[in-house]
Structure 1
Amino acid sequence: MLNLFESFSDSEIDTYKNDNFNLLNEFYKISCNFGDFHGENNTEYGQITIINEISFLIPPKCKFFNKNVIEIKKFLPESEKFDFIVIDPPWKCRYIKRLKKTFDQKSYNMMTNDEISNISLRNYTHKSSIVIIWATNSETHENFIKNSLLEKWDLKQIGIWHWIKVDKTGDTFCSFEGNKKPYEKIFIATHFKNDVKDIIEKEISIVSQSSSIHSHKPQLLSK
């Protein structure tokens, strides 16, 4: 396997790791309490804007909302339909529970499976929509997605991808056989009335280093 870090010395790698750790701490200091806000960028270019004294890079041609997703119907009309939806729910997770006890700034509020299923996502899809659902490595959560959530959102599974996490040498952090897995599953779904075959690749493995920022995901699509 190709080692992307072989051109760096150990001291350089340590320096980059320390710099990354310091940036991570600064990120957590400012990332917890932005408050509610929303807006729109109608231009063809990304825009930097300041909200609550924090700078944000807003992509071109987009609307953005930083609000409680359970109340989505209050700020996003159901006439808005989306071709592609990516959702990374804050699943109940023992790691985050432990983190809350030791460093509350680095934690976040989690949602129960019932709360996640109550997100009115079905109102924003059409017959050809593709929905991507990130899932933690929990048999309970996976069974919930397959046996309950997809039906609640008028979806059906058409594929499953894997994000395999590796270290700087390209090796996985742990064994595939243990309780802790070196990967996350990505469920690919579409509207249950969509009969088109081969809409999207059914099985893909994305191999990359995991970010120091919890829940920071790799790029799913390439040009």
Structure 2
Amino acid sequence: MVKTIQRLLPELCQFDLIVIDPPWRNKYIRRLKRVRQELSYQMLSNEELRNLPISQLIHKHSLVAIWCTNSSQHQTALLEEFLPEWNLQLLHVLKWLKLNINGEPISSISNAGQKQPFEMLFIARHQEADVDFATSIRQVEMLFSVPSIIHSHKPPLYAWLGEYLQNEPKCLEIFARYLQPSFTSIGLEVLKLMDERLYSKT
């Protein structure tokens, strides 16, 4: 995937919003791969992810949203290695809390090392961004939604983050699993969640 994006660089522009849902290495997917290969996906090492050419795809008023697991190792790598390499500074960190159809967390918040009912979202901006750019994002402390039954299907962010972008923004999603208006989508499974079998016909 990293090499694919590097090859596409001459055809790409600088984007106003980039959403990244990295295929972090994790134990759940390794176990899943042993049982049902078709349900798993290819994971990348932190070194491979760090080599994404994000710094070449942003401008001074870009926002970059990065989904991260609850692994302290991945979060530390993101903050201390990825963001500096990508010429980004951290703007905000918040949780996506997964709810059941009754509006309650899908499970209790457990001790470290156990699966949690939330995932982390890191919002970053260019290192040379104006000091006040998009700072009101910090007023949002948590996202709530009922998760998809499909593993790693994240809620769309454009309706929220689009408020901080210019008119007719150019957006990019890396490791995309479905198509969205105004987005260039890059990934190995960009049509995965577009399958008509996932939707009821009216």
The residue number in structure 2 matching 1:196 is 131
User: Which structure 2 residue ranges, 5 or more long, are not aligned?
Assistant: 161-202
Please say if 1:93 is aligned against 2:26. yes
Task: Check the 8 A contact 1:78/1:123 in 2, yes or no.
Answer: no
Aligned equivalents of 1:195, 1:141: Cα separation in 2:
28
Q: CA deviation at 1:73?
A: 2.3
Residue by residue, what CA displacement relative to the aligned partner does 1:119-166 show, whole Å, maximum 9, x if unpaired? 111111111111000001111111111111100100000111211001
What is aligned with 1:156? 89
- Tell me how many residue pairs correspond in the alignment: 156
Give 1:93-132 correspondences, 5 Å limit.
Answer: 93-132=26-65
Structure 2 SS opposite 1:76: helix
Percent of aligned positions with the same letter in both sequences?
A: 38
Write out aligned runs for 1:33-182 (5 A). Answer: 68-77=1-10, 80-178=13-111, 179-182=114-117
8 Å CA contact retained: 1:70, 1:120: no
The Cα of 1:213 is off from its aligned counterpart by 1.0
Q: Output the TM-score relative to the length of structure 1.
A: 0.66
Q: What residue number does 2:119 align with?
A: 184
The 1-side partners of 2:6 and 2:61 are apart by 21
Q: Is the Cα contact below 8 Å between 2:98 and 2:144 reproduced in 1?
A: yes
Whole-Å Cα distance in 2 between the matches of residues 191 and 174 of structure 1? 36
* Contact 1:164/1:207 (8 A) holds in 2: yes
Deviates more, 1:177-186 or 1:75-84: 75-84
Of 128, 147, 152 in structure 2, the residue corresponding to residue 215 of structure 1 is 152
Structure 1 regions of 5+ residues with no counterpart?
A: 1-67
For 1:85 and 1:222, the matched residues in 2 are separated by: 14
What SS does the corresponding residue of 1:70 show, helix, strand or coil? helix
**CA distance in 2: counterparts of 1:157 and 1:78, whole angstroms:** 28
* Partner SS state of residue 137, structure 2: coil
Give the superposition deviation at 1:104: 0.4
- When structure 1 is superposed on structure 2, of 192-201 and 89-98 the one drifting more is 192-201
Q: With the length of structure 2 as denominator, give the TM-score of the two structures.
A: 0.72
Match of 1:34 in 2: none
Rounded Cα–Cα distance in structure 1 between residues aligned with 2:143 and 2:46: 26
Distance 2:98 2:9 in 1: 35
Within 2, Cα distance between the matches of 1:79 and 1:192? 21
Matched ranges for 1:20-39 at <5 A: none
CA-CA distance at 1:198 after TM superposition: 4.9
RMSD: 1.7
The AA in structure 2 aligned to 1:106 is L
Q: Distance in 1 between matches of 2:110 and 2:28?
A: 20
